[in-house]
Amino acid sequence: MKEIIDGFLKFQREAFPKREALFKQLATQQSPRTLFISCSDSRLVPELVTQREPGDLFVIRNAGNIVPSYGPEPGGV
């Protein structure tokens, strides 16, 4: 847990000030143009491997990287 807290504090100290305008804009709205469906595997960071900025991707992560086919199913909406 200490590593996570230290990383967050480092982000606040170093990364946030350099990109403050971007983060302020993202705080008011988001408008990603791409839906990225990915496995919930922690080794893959979609924004890193696609070289996208914060707010560029709408990321959905699930076990198995599965998108079920559409159709009426019991209990479906």
Q: Which residues contribute to the annotated binding site?
A: 39, 41
- Known binding-site residue numbers for Zn(2+): 39, 41
**Are 30 and 54 in contact, with CB atoms under 8 Å apart?**
no
H-only helix segments in 1-77 = 2-10, 16-18, 20-28, 46-49
